Amino acid sequence: MWKTSLALKVALGLLMIDSIIELSFVSSMVAWLHRTASKGFTVNQDGTTYLLAGKPLNLIGDQGHTSNGAAGTAFVLIGLGGIVSLWLRYWARDKVGGLGNFARFLYYLWVGLNIPALLLTIGALAYVFAVTNAHDGQTIDASLAASLNGSPYPEQSWTPQNWFSAVLQLDLVDARSDIQSHLSVMRGWQYNLIPMFIIQLGFTILVLWEFTTWRKQSNVTRNVMVEK
């Protein structure tokens, strides 16, 4: 195995675990929206029932895509890419010429990609909370919803978190526990961006610090070899 610090290995493992949790939460939400919520929900209104469309007309999905992109980048490019890059760096420690230089180039490239990957996570964190908070407190007009005959609710734009929070304020015939459960998942991937950012920030700092140390050691080794 490669000779990296224990802290770097632990941080890499934590980042991969947290990013796969984020991916799982977002995927679970998307699957539920398409398979279950899309069928709609039955609501009581003045002694009668009506079908409420499971998704509003203006459902905002960009924040989920952004979170998914940040988590996917962290897991694949930084996590799996890091395992390969660090192994290649260790393999090329005493190699000269084409393959050794190519292995080191891939390691340099991976180190550099940590910074835009971190910026993507920061952007996802800021964007998701900004959009969700901007729509906080919205409510569904029950009379309007009852008159739609199952058509998507047309007023305002909604994030999944805000929409299903508002749906829970209606007199649902059933599915309340199911909505509450999946709303927890939606809030889970939103708030999981915070520890993902913290872990990735610490990991990026460790990567840059360890890269600097490795470069110094490599220069010393190269100078000794030249002198010999």
**How many structural domains does the chain have?**
1
The tens digit of pLDDT for each residue in 140-150 reads 999 999 999 89
Classify burial at 201, counting beta carbons within 10 Å of its beta carbon; exposed 0-12, middle 13-18, buried 19 or more. middle
pLDDT score, position 197: 98
Give the mean pLDDT of the chain. 91
Percentage of residues in the chain having pLDDT higher than 90: 77
pTM of the model: 0.88
pLDDT score, position 222: 52
Residue 153 belongs to a domain = yes
Average pLDDT over residues 133-145: 94
pLDDT score, position 2: 46
Residue 1 belongs to a domain = no
| DSSP states along the chain | -----HHHHHHHHHHHHHHHHHHHHHHHHHHHHHHTGGG-EEEEETTEEEEEPSS-TTB--HHHHHHHHHHHIIIIIIIIHHHHHHHHHHHTTT--SHHHHHHHHHHHHHHHHHHHHHHHHHHHHHHHHHHHHHTTT----HHHHHTTTTPPP-SS-B-HHHHHHHHTTS-BSS-HHHHHHHHHHHHHHHHTHHHHHHHHHHHHHHHHHHHHHHHHHHHHHHHHHHH-
Residue 92 belongs to a domain = yes
Average pLDDT over residues 65-75: 96
Which residues, other chains included, contact 2 with Cβ-Cβ below 8 Å and sequence gap of 6+? 86, 87, 89, 90
Average pLDDT over residues 114-119: 97
The tens digit of pLDDT for each residue in 22-66 reads 999 999 999 999 999 999 999 998 889 999 999 999 999 999 999
Residue 27 belongs to a domain = yes
pLDDT score, position 92: 76
* pLDDT top residue among 118 and 210: 118
Classify burial at 70, counting beta carbons within 10 Å of its beta carbon; exposed 0-12, middle 13-18, buried 19 or more. buried
Q: Is there a contact between 160 and 34 (Cβ–Cβ < 8 Å)?
A: no
Residue 97 has pLDDT above 90, yes or no: no
Q: Which residue range is the domain that position 200 belongs to?
A: 6-227
Residue 164 belongs to a domain = yes
